[in-house]
Structure 1
Amino acid sequence: MKIENLTEGMILKNYKELCSVLEIEPIGGNKKQSLLKDLNRYIKYHKEGNKFVIDEIYKEVKEKVDKRFNGNNTKYADDIEYLILTLLDKFKISKDEKVGFSKNFLYSYCGLSNENYRLVKGNTLKFSQLIDMPVQTINECFEYTNNRMLKTLQSALNRMKRQSFITWGNGYNMVMLDENNEQYLKVATIEDEKNILSIERYIMDEMGTMNKRLIFIGGQWNSFKSKTNAELKKIYPNLYYYYDNISFNYNNKDIKRALNQYENGIKTDVKNKVNDKFSKSLDGTIKRRHERAKKEGLNNLLDNYKRSDEYPKEQGKIKNVIVKRDSEKIELKNSYDKTKVKSLQKTFYDKYSNKTYEQLNFNDFDIVEDIPF
């Protein structure tokens, strides 16, 4: 925005001419109002009909007040939109291409999680031993954290879709091997997706289940993926593995133009700002779940834990490890002490359950790790 092109007393006949003098693209809706509001940091002006009259150009730029981080309902929208635009701008796609990323990658890129998130999500039993907490407490944290991250990301993506920046959807990425045995990424085409779905259904029927979640809970996830990959390699001999993605289609020129509309101020430390606000919002979630459980007084295992004095402290600790970007990176061992992990889980049941578990075998306290999708 070329403020130096303006002079005191200048009269601009309309908004379009104002943008032309400032050398920016005319924009509408909420972004137009944000632009005009931000203009007040640089100049004083008044309107006469459609005309803009420049009264004064400030010698010092006024401080920007960012209400997105002070309780506004769109507190993440602009920032996550900007971060996604910067990501997509790195990929120049042709008219018949899409680009896809895992949810875990997008959560991290948009500042909603840290490096520990993915590591812990796939190794909750090892993490249980590391922090000396039962898996039940870890899965409780993942339940509301995953839900919030997905809704926050989807809200931003739908907002971008309404602005015709992107279309997006769920699909698959296929990691392939070239003639030199080097890996490269391929976003599954519609035909590829049909093949994957067909083989997944075939393997699920063979395993006697209709639901991936049940496969994982039953401890058969690795077997399912191995069998599916083996069948897919009959169609794609150079397939290494595949995974779920969120895929995007867009016009590169529109992404570039949208990026140019953002002020330099919004680009400063955006990821850390999102992370700080998201982490604090989860603190509020923990507090509300704790207070609600105390108020409702339901008599079951999880609600007994939620209303305990330990709940806010334990959940805050786990949340910080997997979300806050300034948290120390954790290192997990290659294995875990199964007796210790089971003991932590049994202690949880003994402490928060009103039922007698004496009839259960110690092996019944095996709790599977968090679901990877």
Structure 2
Amino acid sequence: MDTKKFDYTDLIDMDCKNQTAKLLENYFHRMRGEYDSIVAVEEETYSEQPFFEFAEHINEKENQDIVNRTVQYVKQFILNVAMGNDFNVEVFKTYLYNLDPFFDKALAFNIATLLNEKDVFASEFDFETAWMSCGINIQKQSTQETDSKEDAPVDTSKLTIGMTVKNYKVLCELLGQEIKDGKSKKYQLENFKRYFEWEKAGQKFIIMDIYDTPLEKEDLRKLGNNSIYTQAIEVILLQYLSHQDGYTRTLTKKKWWELLSITNHKYGRMTEKELLQLDKILTSFEIRHFYQRCNKKLEQILFSALNNLKNRKLINYQIQTVIVTTDEETGKDKYFLATDDNLKSILDVERYVLHDVLGYEKIFQVFLRFKQKEYYQKINDILYDRYGWHYYFKQVKIIYVQENIQKVLPEAELNLKKQFLNEKVVSFLNENAVNEFKKQKEKYSAKYEELVNKWWGNPEDIPDSEKSELWKMPDVYVTAQRILTDELIKIGHKDLDFCEEEFIKSNSDMDEMFLFCNK
């Protein structure tokens, strides 16, 4: 009877006892028909401490014996089901009742995974081969069990980018998650960050981004100060400043981005209409969402480099506001730096438009709703009516000592070359691990098929002496090799995936952070 469409993991209740027994009983009777359960399923309350004690001592002889005896019984139970044999209820209870709660759940998940893949086994060898192919280790799974509730899959289908959620309780309801408090709430919110990004406004959650696939726990898509992006920008900036006269350099953000090769010369110059003509799949939404999606990345890259250089006392920088008006004598545009009074006037109008006109709490909501054009146009209209100003924009002024820049430049260039080399080695080793895994997997499949054919398609007839020659590389091999490569080979920020070609091109993954100028 084929029961593969049934998901055995749905039977497991993390808050109840005897889940392994419950699952195996269900499996036994699913092969036969309806039944009245004999398994006593009771709610159980357990703290984290017993589990950690069990996980810590699982390799001690006494606990190893418990694991081995129980797993051997499970194997025989499943094989007997395939043979049509009944089971002794008292023996069943002796082996499977009142197991350590965490071991019980871990074992149940192992069995469920196994039965979801295959539910009938021709022999002990067939069972053990399938069990190993699941790639699950009881000890490893049990040590992760306490995180299972915090790390339960989060359904973000009811969220949208730019959405404002009233409070934490409503957020949990939208996500289908349990409402928690204390440390449990803190861990839960950390887990939410793997699925989407938000900003807080009082008790409100404003959804900034929703990821297509959840992030790994170690990867929160943040650029560290030691990232190769930051190093590369530092070198380019130092090279540029070392060849300039004077001790200051002032450019708009767009100009800095282009100079540093973060964006190309087309950035900010192509109209939306021109961009729409690039490909029929592009829409206004795609273009606007592109800018929105890349805002934080561009900010992190640029200002991480500037702050690193500032902390080393190689530069200082200021973000200045420039106001544009009309020169009464010439009729041409006139530019001047905003004074404190000017900045106060701009701030007052910005707050009025943001809060009273558009009804938002924070500026990023303007960008999330694609309202920046409307937002700045309303501000400029009010500023023109009040003060005769056409618009304003931001620029970054860098102050530096050229002699200091020239001294550190050679070392910075050398470090960057080392980083590029290290990334090449890491990439090669990771690719090599993937290829090795594929080769060993093909070798195992060929050997297994050869043995089965040799013994006329009956795996149970294969002698133990020949079975011992059959070895399968662990399914977690590639992941394990990556972990070791990150820890022992990779230099710098180990959570950052860097692509040299993408950085050099800098055409498709970086975009404007601040849209201050509304020309």
| Higher RCO (CA-CA < 8 Å; seq separation 6+) | 1
User: Do Structure 1 and Structure 2 share a fold, with TM-score over 0.5?
Assistant: no
Which entry has the higher C-alpha Rg, 1 or 2? 2
